[in-house]
Amino acid sequence: MTHLLRVRTRHASPRAYDPYITAAERRDLQGAAAVLKGIRILHVNATPKGGGVAEMLSSLVPLECGMGLCSSWHAMEAPARFFRITKEIHNAVQGKQFRLPSADIEYYRSVNVKLASRLARLPFDIAVIHDPQPMAVIASVHDRPMISRLHIDCSHMDARVRRLLYPYARAYDRVVVSRPECRLGLPRSIVSVIQPAIDPLSPKHRDMTRAYARRLLARLGIHPKRPLLAQVSRFDPWKNPLGVLEAYRLAKRRMPDIQLVLAGIMAASDDPEASSVFREVKKASKGDPDIHLFSDIKQLRGITNDRFVNAIQCGADIVLQLSTREGFGLTVTEAMWKGAAVIGGSGAGIRLQIQHGENGYIEHTSRAVARRIEMLLGRPRLRAAIGRRAKASVREQYLVPRLLRDHLRLYTSFIST
């Protein structure tokens, strides 16, 4: 029941990304790739779809291949108990008290031992192990360079979970994090900071006019003319969907016309908590007909997840992402890329991307979010200006060619040492 399954990815031609890079950047990429030709990079993560890691790997892996590397992506298959345990570990890494009994910790280790035996049989020169679920494989496989890539917010980690994970992290040849505060207290010499990125050529980011987006959303019962607020996120406590509901309610007192979409199509096999959080959100929304909750792909009436998310991000008047913890938050990047006015919460990954008042807003309380909504809905030109600056900042820092460059440099450091 514990396996590593190869995830098939689409083909990507690096030349297609030329409009997003300069000639010097292209030369830089080609130079790095020449040294790495034929090198076998193996990415391992917990789920083939759902969530930011799968989103990123589905672009990065084909691009690495397009540059001449032999990269592959394998996702874990493991019993439900394993993913319940690893969600607890994930939550404790983000700051919840860690209470797992030792039998569960043993189980986490034993699944990783099995996983490691599968991993050891795969052909690779460098492995990149994403997030804590498969992290403990390092105890059993370390005959080749191993990189741990931590995407989640480790800046408020519970001390007990740190004691569990630190020895594994320390055993890797390199640990890659999205922000320096997430380095678990590891020596700087083994830590690299690489920020995530989105793929401008992904179907999720195809150009879509606001009018078309609103027509598409109208098919799903969302009024095409009334103001629309939206948060696109897994149903997860750290994403703060209840905080979104509260801010919406406060704003609605003064603007009764507003509507809200909370979209979290459940696709990630490693997130068993989503259904219970969804039930809680549904109860808290008290049948308000202006709150639209999406958790199941069947609700989309044949519209694909990517088109649906794109329509929300292009059609919403304001995109919210009120997460209290966020390793990075690709949904913020995605909405900013579409020129949306985004209001973010206190999660550090969001604060990294949004400069308050410049390319979006950061608010810390529901009341402040409601006030910001009211102000922004009354000022469409300001919204548009914020959105333009948001798009420019994503173009500059958070598109996939830059992520590719950082990964090629990372791999090169193992070749030349």
The SS3 of residue 246 is helix
Size of residue set near ligand UDP by CB under 6 A: 16
Pick 32 or 323: Cβ nearer ligand UDP: 323
- The residues facing 176 across adjacent strands are 149, 192
SS3 of 368-397: HHHHHHHHHHCCHHHHHHHHHHHHHHHHHH
C-beta of 166: minimal distance to ligand UDP in Å? Answer: 22
Query: According to the binding rule CB under 6 A, does residue 329 interact with ligand UDP?
Result: yes
C-beta of 264: minimal distance to ligand UDP in Å? Answer: 5
The SS3 of residue 300 is helix
Query: According to the binding rule CB under 6 A, does residue 55 interact with ligand UDP?
Result: yes
Pick 129 or 232: Cβ nearer ligand UDP: 232
Is the Cβ–Cβ distance between 264 and 295 less than 8 Å?
Answer: yes
Query: According to the binding rule CB under 6 A, does residue 62 interact with ligand UDP?
Result: no
Is the Cβ–Cβ distance between 86 and 46 less than 8 Å?
Answer: yes
Interface region with ligand UDP, contact rule CB under 6 A, candidates 30-38, 97-105, 122-130, 325-333:
325-333
Q: Which two tokens stand for residue 130?
A: 């994403």
Query: According to the binding rule CB under 6 A, does residue 264 interact with ligand UDP?
Result: yes
Mark residues 173-212: x for contact with ligand UDP by CB under 6 A, - for none: ----------------------------------------
C-beta of 305: minimal distance to ligand UDP in Å? Answer: 5
Q: Which of 346, 345, 352, 343 is nearest to 394 (CA)?
A: 352
Query: According to the binding rule CB under 6 A, does residue 309 interact with ligand UDP?
Result: yes
* Window 220-259: residues binding ligand UDP (CB under 6 A): 232-234
Interface region with ligand UDP, contact rule CB under 6 A, candidates 110-118, 163-171, 179-187, 327-335:
327-335
SS3 of 34-90: HHHCCCEEEEEECCCCCCHHHHHHHHHHHHHHHCCCEEEEEEEECCHHHHHHHHHHH
| Distance, CA of 336 to CA of 313 (rounded, Å) | 9
Interface region with ligand UDP, contact rule CB under 6 A, candidates 10-18, 70-78, 115-123, 323-331:
323-331
Query: According to the binding rule CB under 6 A, does residue 305 interact with ligand UDP?
Result: yes
Query: According to the binding rule CB under 6 A, does residue 330 interact with ligand UDP?
Result: yes
Query: According to the binding rule CB under 6 A, does residue 334 interact with ligand UDP?
Result: yes
Burial grade of 153 (CB within 10 A; 0-12, 13-18, 19 or more): buried
Is the Cβ–Cβ distance between 38 and 69 less than 8 Å?
Answer: yes
C-beta of 120: minimal distance to ligand UDP in Å? Answer: 28
| Distance, CA of 132 to CA of 82 (rounded, Å) | 12
Pick 175 or 232: Cβ nearer ligand UDP: 232
CA 243 to chain centre: 20
Residues that bind ligand UDP (CB under 6 A): 51-52, 55, 232-234, 263-265, 305, 309, 328-331, 334
